[in-house]
Structures are given as structure tokens and as C-alpha cells.
Amino acid sequence: CVRCSTYGPFHPQTDGLVEHFNRPLKDMIRKVVNRDRKNWDTFLPYLMFAIREVPQTSTGFSPFELIYGRHPHGILDIAKEYCEEQPYRGRNIIEHVIQMRDRILSSYSHSAGTRGESTSGPTDLLEWLSE
């Protein structure tokens, strides 16, 4: 026997499946928005990709895999491939982190002198950009 039921529009509380999807999405949005909560829409595509690349317990596949027939190629996959392609240079992780920190501080101090410079017109802007 098939049981028919109707749900009111715009009331996800009446549909457990929709509510089960909305709860983690709301939690993720709360974690990434700024204090005034006006930038949530800029993060929505990234959060949806994150949700769609996680395998579901009911199917064993991610929604992305079910739609496109392949595993999603996310940022962690790209980072892993990059790390695997790089030859080991004999450094340990602490030396690597220290070197990266020094490079970041160096580039920050280099760019700190040019930040905030203003131009008085298009000619000055072109000269400033060509430096």
C-alpha cells in the first residue's frame, strides 16, 4: 500500500528529508559568514560543492558521482596530486613550514610599502601599474 502525503510549500519542517539536508547546510553557513551575516550567498556554491562531494550512507556514492559518473576533483585532490608530484627534498615538515612562513613574511613586507598608494588620474595609474 502506497501512502500519499502532502507537504505545505516553504515548510521544510514537515519533510524530514529536506530538514535533514537543511540542518548541515545551515551549520556550514553559520561557520563561514561574517558578523553582519550579509555575505552568505558568496559561499553557497562552495558549500554546495562540499556537500555534493561527500558519499551518502544510503547509496555509498556522492551526489556528484551519481550525476556525473565520476569522482569529484576538489581542492584537496588537487593539493594531494601537487604534493605527490613534488620530489622529496630531504626536508622535514617543520623546516618546510618555517621556510613557507619566511616567504610569506618576506612577500608581505615587500607589498606593505606599495599598499594603499593612491593615484591622481589615469596617467598616474598606468605609470604605477607599469612599475
Q: Which of 3-12, 25-34, 87-96 has the highest mean pLDDT?
A: 25-34
pLDDT in tens, 10-40: 555 566 667 777 888 888 888 888 777 788 8
Q: How far apart are CA 106 and CA 101, in angstroms?
A: 9
> How many helices and strands in the chain, by DSSP H and E?
6, 0
pLDDT in tens, 101-118: 888 878 767 666 655 555
Bigger pLDDT: 106 vs 130? 106
Domain boundaries, the chain: 12-110
| Contact assessment for residue 12 and residue 19, using Cβ atoms and an 8 Å cutoff | yes
pTM listed for this prediction? 0.49
Map grid coordinates 622535514 to a residue: 92
Three cell numbers at 25? Answer: 547546510
